[in-house]
Structures are given as C-alpha cells and as structure tokens.
Amino acid sequence: METRYICTYVHCSHPGTNRYEMTFKAESIMDQKNVATPFCPFCKKEMLLAPAVPSDCVHQTTADCHAAD
Ligand SMILES: [Zn+2]
C-alpha cells in the first residue's frame, strides 16, 4: 500500500512526458494528519493526492479525478 501524490501544474518543468509523482510507503506514515503536503521540486507547486481507488476520488482535491458530469 502506497500513498501517491501527483504534480498537476500544467507548466511544471519536470522533464519527461509524465507528470511528476511522489510515493510514500504506508508504513512511513504514522498519522495522516502529521503528513505535510508535498511540494513539487520542479515547479514548487503543491502536489495533489492521487486516489488509490476510483471511489476515493474527490473532485478538485484529488489528482486524476474525472468529474461525473
Ligand atoms: Zn511540478
């Protein structure tokens, strides 16, 4: 089980075709509330939490979330 964050900034300077991703091992996260929001090292923008499963998707706060409408 991993927690994944994605940089969704359109003009991110991350080299590559995919967006920059950062993953944390669940074991390293003792308490969700103690985890600071990670920032992209390339564009310095706040990274969004990627949904582990589609049902975790919350529009506008979750990366790779496709609105139902
Ligand atoms: Zn970025």
| Gap from CA of 45 to ligand 1 centroid (Å) | 6
Q: Looking at residue 33, what is its pLDDT?
A: 59
pLDDT surpasses 60 at 18: yes
Whether residue 42 contacts residue 11, with contact meaning beta carbons closer than 8 Å, is answered with no
| Gap from CA of 16 to ligand 1 centroid (Å) | 11
Mean pLDDT, rounded, of the chain? 78
Grade residue 12 by pLDDT with cuts at 50, 70 and 90. very high
Domain spans in the chain, listed from the N-terminal domain onward: 2-56
What percentage of the chain has pLDDT greater than the value 70? 64
pLDDT surpasses 80 at 45: yes
Side chain identity at 24, as an amino acid letter? Answer: F
Q: Looking at residue 25, what is its pLDDT?
A: 80
- Of 34, 46, 36, nearest to 9 by C-alpha is 46
| Gap from CA of 28 to ligand 1 centroid (Å) | 23
| Gap from CA of 24 to ligand 1 centroid (Å) | 17
